[in-house]
Structures are given as structure tokens and as C-alpha cells.
Structure 1
């Protein structure tokens, strides 16, 4: 099956773990342009996975191809979306929204009343987050540092669930 024939109906979300890090890093490196400095390193991902309240969700097609992932953590009555990425070849198919909706549902089921995330100003995902009810609550100036020396603000978004 070619990539254009794949539909989100074939997509399954499943809990991920350290054995999925190769796929996570591959998608993250494809999804996040290195001129913005948004991608995490493999050691950052591996280091946070075993921490309490942290979970990884993998969006995988029936044939095994990984289309995207989200990394989140819950702390007390709050949850934070740490990372969400979709492989560029599978964008605009609702996969990011599916991962975001799952994060919100999981946070609610785990007792969170508020969720947070940070995103680079200008990242197209801001539109998805705003349409899901997230509002701007803060800004971190020059938070992201790109490979070529650029500095970019991070927007802190939040919403109640």
C-alpha cells in the first residue's frame, strides 16, 4: 500500500515505550525543522520516559508504519503535552488531532482539570491547538534556539478539561 492510499481508519493508537524511540526520533527529525530548535534528542526522550506520569502514544498503521506520536505527563490535577509530531508524509489527515484528542481524554480520565503545552510561535500546530480550545497564557522569549543561531519565542497554551 502506498502512503497516499492510507487512511486514518487504518490508524491505531497504542502505548509506546523505549522500544519505539527509533521511530519517535525519525518522525521528530522529519517533522521539526532544525532551524527552529524544537526537536528533543534521543537521550532527552529516553530520560523522561521512565518518569512517573509520563506516557508515549504511537499512531501506527495496520502495516506497522508509524505516522506520529505524542509524549505527555500528568502531575497532580494537571497534564502537559510535551511533544506531538506527525510524519510530513501523513499530515493533513487528522492524525495530529487524533493524538491531541487522546491526550485530552487520557488527562481527563486521570483526573486532570487543566492541560498545558508549549509551542513555537509560528508553528502551524498553533491553529490546531487554538481550535481545540487552548488559549495563550504566557510567552517565553527566545526559548527555542535553532541550528543556525535563530531564537524563537515559545507560546504557553492552556485550557480546562
Structure 2
């Protein structure tokens, strides 16, 4: 939860609370991959797979470990796990103005849709979500 709270800007309301995260982990096909640097949690990927498709529900990297390859390593690890589990496609949703979009593009994701007003910030503003997808 420390990585979650540090990684997401609270103004956009994108971080999950502990109860939401734990409840998601109880669902079939859901897993959490952790990345650490020198024994310190650096990031995580929360994924849910149904049949041959999966969704990257959350990808978070602690600010001190950004731009070090942690996020790309987590995505690559997720793709390997999906291949091992007969997965074919990985999807995600991201706020339209999130700088992480460039990371996702480098990782091979392409935009396949847009959800107007998907995110609701604590300031009352709404933000569209982009739906991205890649083959595993």
C-alpha cells in the first residue's frame, strides 16, 4: 500500500484502498507481481485474467524508482505469465493525460477505445480513459 499511495496522484482518485485491493486478490485469475530493489518494494502489477484475455488493473512504481525500468520489467513479466497461462491479449485503461501513456506505447500497447468521463477527480473534474491493448 505504501507504493500505491506514493505512486498515484491523489487528485485523480486512481489509487485503490486496501480493502479494494485485497478483495480483488480473492477473485479467480487475479495476481499481484511485486518488484523490489535492494529489498525495498519498488513497484507492482495487479492483473486479472479471464479466458485468454487479461487486464492490467494497476501498475504502480514508487517515485524513487521511476525511469529505471521497473515498470517495463513488470509489464514484460506480466506478458510472460500470460503466455504461460495461454493468454493472448492484455488490456488496460489509463487517464487520457497520464504521462504513463508513453511507457505503455513503448511496451507495445495501442489505443483501441476511449471512455468519456471515466475518472472522477477529488476536485470534481472528470477525465476520459483510454483503453489500450497489446498481444502477449
TM-score range, shorter chain: over 0.9
Q: What is the CA–CA distance in structure 2 between the aligned matches of 1:159 and 1:57, rounded to whole Å?
A: 19
Instruction: State the match for 2:24 in structure 1.
Output: 48
Q: What is the CA–CA distance in structure 2 between the aligned matches of 1:77 and 1:68, rounded to whole Å?
A: 25
Q: Which runs of structure 2 are paired with 1:47-66 in the superposition (5 Å)?
A: 47-62=23-38, 64-66=39-41
Q: Is the CA contact (8 Å cut-off) linking 1:35 and 1:150 kept in structure 2?
A: no
Normalised by the length of structure 1, the TM-score is: 0.81
Instruction: State the match for 1:125 in structure 2.
Output: 100
Unaligned stretches of 5+ in structure 1?
Answer: 1-24
Instruction: State the match for 2:80 in structure 1.
Output: 105
Q: Does 1:135 align with 2:110?
A: yes
Post-superposition shift, 1:95? 0.4
Instruction: State the match for 2:123 in structure 1.
Output: 148
CA RMSD in angstroms comes to: 1.0
Q: What secondary structure sits across from 2:6 in the alignment? A: helix
Q: What is the CA–CA distance in structure 2 between the aligned matches of 1:42 and 1:148, rounded to whole Å?
A: 22
Structure 1 residues 18-50: Cα deviation after superposition (integer angstroms, max 9, x where no partner): xxxxxxx21111111111111111111010101
Q: Is the CA contact (8 Å cut-off) linking 1:141 and 1:154 kept in structure 2?
A: yes
Paired residues, number: 136
Post-superposition shift, 1:79? 1.2
Unaligned stretches of 5+ in structure 2?
Answer: none
Question: Which residue, 60, 84, 88 being the options, matches 1:85?
Answer: 60
**Structure number with larger C-alpha Rg:** 1
